[in-house]
Every structure is written in C-alpha cells, then in structure tokens.
Amino acid sequence: MSRSPTRKRPCRVCKRWFIPHPRLKDRQKTCGDSQCQREWHRRKCEQWNHNNVDISRKAFVPKPVIRAILTKEWWLSLVR
C-alpha cells in the first residue's frame, strides 16, 4: 500500500508553488525559503499582537525604562 503524495500548494508569501515536507503536511505554510519564513513569522506576530493588545502592552517595557531601573539599582548597590 503506497501513500498518496502530498499535493503542491502556493506559498502564502511569494505565491510560488511548492511541495510540502512529508512530515509537516498541512501545517507548512511557506515554500521553505528563509525570507518567506521570516515574513510569515512577522505577519503572524503582528496578527497576534493586534488580537492581544492588552497582553502585548503589559509585556513590553520600553528600553529607557529598563536602562533607568538598571542604573538606579547599580548605583544603589555601590552605595550600600
């Protein structure tokens, strides 16, 4: 009994047709090119951040705030 071959499908980024990896089957969305994979990841992260605004804002701390906290703690450790 032979398995049916995985069908070709278009890449969701560059629209080129590709044959998905046999182990990934329906889960593979891009052709495998590194630029397509990065773009797909960027899109999915953007979509997630848009749908979870409250979570993404709580998790994001601006770098100047982190820098201020670290320098303040560093100076306090010198004073003690």
Residue 49 lies in a domain: yes
- Blockwise average pLDDT, block size 10, the chain, 80 residues: 74 96 92 96 93 78 70 65
Residue 4 lies in a domain: no
Residue 13 lies in a domain: yes
Residue 2 lies in a domain: no
Residue 56 lies in a domain: yes
Is-above-0.75 flag for pTM?
Answer: no
Residue 1 lies in a domain: no
Residue 18 lies in a domain: yes
* Residue 55: domain span: 9-79
What b/e string do you get for 20-50 counting C-beta neighbours within 10 Å, with b at 16 or more? beeeeeeebbbbeeeebeebbeeeeeeeeee
Residue 3 lies in a domain: no
Number of domains in the chain: 1
Predicted confidence at residue 75, as pLDDT, reads 63
